[in-house]
Each structure stands twice: as structure tokens, then as C-alpha cells.
Structure 1
Amino acid sequence: MHSEQVLAFLDEHPEFLQQHAARFSLQASPQNGERVVSFVERQLLELKDHNRQLEAQLQQLAERAQTNERIVAKLHQLTLAQLAHRGLKQQIAALKHSLGEEFQLNRVALRLWHPGAEAETEHYNAQNEVQGLARNLAAPYCGPYVNDEVMSWFPAIPVLQSFAQVALRDAGGQAFGLLVLASDDAQRFTFDMHTQYLSQIGELLSASLLATLEAK
């Protein structure tokens, strides 16, 4: 059957498409049972719906890009703060200040067991338990759990709900310190969050502190 014959048949029997609307993915008008949505109109509706989905995805990507740009800018400020200070005590103070100012992280604990940090008693901790914890961190840990030793580094109030633990390593991969960030917000550090920026903070701090520790 040729296309002209099909069209002629539909002209003579307009009720055909109405009767078989479901088979051809057509929709009848609820006000008028004689009208059906054409194939072209159906395709236009589908294209509009697809475009709305694409616009929503594009908006999400744009928002994510803006968030990443803000984080990169904050990391840059943290880096500048580390470069601007000399001396272990000053570098640690600058780190805590930057994390508070740039990332609103005011509960920060740092422990080192490098020989060059022995004089910095507030931040020196050579316990095997702590060293073992850092050695086992192949990547930053994020979640609600820390051991009793780490918990003791923070005040009892407010009650902390989530933590990030980042190992500090030398060029050979040996851990010489542990950075712990804490929050009373259970959603601040979660198991499923990306840890790329935490890793970069760990690498930055490792290089900055190690340069000072090795110079002693």
C-alpha cells in the first residue's frame, strides 16, 4: 500500500487514529473525543520535555562549577597563608585561622610525630595508636566515627557529629602527622562525599610543615 493510499484511507476514516490512539502513542483530547494529537505535535511535546531536562542538568553543572571555583579560591588563600609564615607554631596557627575563615571549620586538631615537632608539645603525639591510624588512611576518612584518643583532642561541647581525618605524609609515603576536622553537623563529613579537596589540603600541609620540620 502506497503512502497516498494510507492518507486517503485516513481522510475517509478519521476515527481510525482515535480508535487506535494507544497503539500509535497518540492522546485524545479530554474535551473532544474526535480530536487526536498529531505525530508532529507529539514529537514537539517530547522535545520540549527533553529540553527542560537538559536545562535542569545544565543548571546543576553550572552550580557545581561555581561551587568548585569557590573551593579552589579558598584553597588558594590557605596556600598563601602557609607560604606567608615561617616556624611550626606560626604555620599551625595560620592553618587553623584559614580553615576557620575560609571553610568555617573551627574545630581542628593536628598531631605530629616527626622528631622536629617534639618541642611543640601541644601538637606532638607519638602514640602507636595514632601512628597506626594515619598509616591505614589510604585516603581521607569522612564519617561519624573516631577513636577515643582522637575524640579527646576536642572539647566535650558541642557534641561532634562528623569528622574528616587526613594523614600527612613525606615524599616516601610515610605518615608523620594526622589532621582531623570536626563538625557538629552530621552532614558536613559523610561517607559518600568526595575527598579530592581534603587530599589536596593534606598534600599542601604535608609539604609546608615538612619543609619546616626538616630544616630543624
Structure 2
Amino acid sequence: MQLTEQDLAAYLAEHPDFFERHAELLAGVQLQSPHGNRAVSLQERQIEMLRDKMRVLEHRLADMMRNAAENEAISGRLLDWVRAMLREADPAALPHTLVREMQQQFQLPQAALRLWNLLPAYTTQDYAADVGTDIPVLANSLSQPYCGANAGFEAARWLGAGAPPQSMAMIALRETDEAPAFGLLVLGSPHADRFTADMGTEFLTRIGHLASAGLQRLVRGG
């Protein structure tokens, strides 16, 4: 009867003391090292495996620490942005402050917003410029921020007379998730990979909630 690898593995599993009784077998086992064309003992191979695992863990820990530092920095910039909005005493200037501080805090080359259904005191401001009927329809259709290429969106024209953005984010502004939109916040970048369709939108959603909460005072019924 010929023993198979499975038979041998099963026997060793059932007799864990085998190598205690035959320690000389372990000492003589030679394995191929993954770090070169040389044979190493079983003990050396185990040490190499432990070192490899340690290196993987070290890389993971470094990534976690780097991500934690990046998240802390982003949280700090978000706090500074919110603080700037809270310090703005003039409601009519709030949209300008919101956009300016967002560009500064988050290194955004292009940002703009438009608001509609405003109180009469704010309807002459540049951010109250007529947007037609398509923009409100677009904003109402956004259950989450749009991120991706600039597909010739009308809102991209708000970002200035320079080169059109290669990628964009569009965030609907509304009092609640179920309410109709009263505005649209647009972010643009000359880099195609700044805003992509597969990126997470949780942070931009929070930006939208905070911006909406601050701007509600300008809206009729807000």
C-alpha cells in the first residue's frame, strides 16, 4: 500500500508528538529559501516566514498611521472651514466665504455655487443668478454627490473663464435629504483623477450637509 501526502498529513495530525520522539528528523529537513537559491533548515525557514509576516504587519501599521495623520489633517481643515462660516456675520456674504474658505482649506483650484428660491434681500447677489430649469432638475436628481469627468455640464461654466475642469464634483444643497434642492455646489479640477466616479462620496456628503445648514437662512422658508 502506497502512502499519499494526505495519509502522511493525517498521521502527523493524529500524532503531534511524532517529531518530539524523532527530533533528529526536523534537524535534517532542508527547504528552499524564497530569498535565494539556497537550502535552509526548517527552523531557518520558520524564522524567515516570521520575518516576512512582521514586515507585512509593519507596512500595515505604517499605512494605518499615515491614514490616521491624513484623516486628522482633513478634520482640522474641515473644522477651520466651518469656523470661518460661523464667524461670517453678514448672511449675504456667507456663500462667498463658504466658497473662498473651501478653496483655501482643501486646495481646490475651482469652486462655485448657485442658490435659488432665495429671500428677496439676496436675489441681487451673483450666486442668485438665474440658472434656468435644468440645473434645479439636476440638483434634485442628485441623491449623493456626483464625482467624475466634466461631460460638458452647464454648471462647469460657473467655475470661471479659464480652461474647463477635467473632473468635477457637484453637491446638491437641501434642508433635508428628502427636501427639494435650493442650490448646487460645484468643485472643479484640471486633473482628471481629482474627482472620479469610483471615489467615495461620504466626505463630500458631509460638506453638503454643513453647507446646506449654513445657507438655509438665505432661503425662503429656510
TM-score (norm 2): 0.79
Matched, 1:207 2:213: yes
* Structure 1 residue matching 2:219: 3-state secondary structure: helix
CA separation of 1:194 and 1:148: change in aligned 2, threshold 3 A: closer
Is the 1:112–1:123 contact (alpha carbons within 8 Å) kept by the matching residues of 2?
yes
1:149 counterpart residue number: 154
**1:7, CA displacement in angstroms?**
4.7
Matched, 1:197 2:203: yes
TM-score (norm 1): 0.81
**What is the rounded CA distance, in whole Å, between the counterparts of 1:63 and 1:70 in structure 2?**
11
**1:119, CA displacement in angstroms?**
2.9
Structure 1: any 5+ residue segments left out of the alignment? none
Is the 2:182–2:219 contact (alpha carbons within 8 Å) kept by the matching residues of 1?
no
**Number of equivalences:** 200
Residues 141-188 of structure 1 show CA distances to partners (whole Å, capped at 9, x for unaligned) of: 111124442122233423411101000011352211100000111121
User: Equivalences for 1:180-195 in 2 at 5 Å?
Assistant: 180-195=186-201
**Alignment partner of 2:137 out of 121, 132, 135:** 132
User: Equivalences for 1:61-72 in 2 at 5 Å?
Assistant: 61-72=64-75
Is the 1:168–1:205 contact (alpha carbons within 8 Å) kept by the matching residues of 2?
yes
* Structure 2 residue matching 1:170: 3-state secondary structure: coil
Residues 34-69 of structure 1 show CA distances to partners (whole Å, capped at 9, x for unaligned) of: xx4222221111010011011101111111111111
**Alignment partner of 2:117 out of 108, 114, 117:** 114
**1:30, CA displacement in angstroms?**
5.2
**1:121, CA displacement in angstroms?**
4.3
Matching residue's letter, 2:75: V
Q: Which moved more, 1:203-212 or 1:45-54?
A: 203-212
CA separation of 1:120 and 1:37: change in aligned 2, threshold 3 A: same
Aligned CA RMSD, in angstroms, stands at 2.7
1:158 counterpart residue number: 163
**What is the rounded CA distance, in whole Å, between the counterparts of 1:191 and 1:128 in structure 2?**
25
User: Equivalences for 1:167-178 in 2 at 5 Å?
Assistant: 167-171=172-176, 172-178=178-184
Matching residue's letter, 1:185: H
Matching residue's letter, 1:162: S
* Structure 2 residue matching 1:115: 3-state secondary structure: coil
**What is the rounded CA distance, in whole Å, between the counterparts of 1:121 and 1:100 in structure 2?**
18
Structure 2: any 5+ residue segments left out of the alignment? 1-14
Is the 2:147–2:167 contact (alpha carbons within 8 Å) kept by the matching residues of 1?
yes
Matching residue's letter, 1:78: W
Residues 96-150 of structure 1 show CA distances to partners (whole Å, capped at 9, x for unaligned) of: 2211221111311201112325332443335221011111111111111244421
**1:215, CA displacement in angstroms?**
7.8
Residues 11-51 of structure 1 show CA distances to partners (whole Å, capped at 9, x for unaligned) of: 9xx6xx4xxx5xxxx127857xxxx4222221111010011
